[in-house]
Amino acid sequence: MSSKNASKEMAVAHICNQWKIPMSHVIAFGDDNNDLGLMKRCGYSVAMGNATEEIKKYSTEITETNDNDGVAMVLERIYKNHLHT
What integer pLDDT is reported at residue 6 of this predicted model?
86
What integer pLDDT is reported at residue 8 of this predicted model?
94
Residue 4 pLDDT class (50, 70, 90 cuts)? confident
Helices in the chain by DSSP H: which ranges? 8-19, 36-41, 53-57, 70-83
Residue 55 near residue 30 (C-beta atoms within 8 A): yes
Strands of 44-47's sheet in order across: 27-30, 44-47, 61-62
All structural domains of the chain? 8-83 (3.40.50.1000)
Contacts of 42 (CB under 8 A, 6+ apart): 9, 12, 23, 24, 26, 27, 28
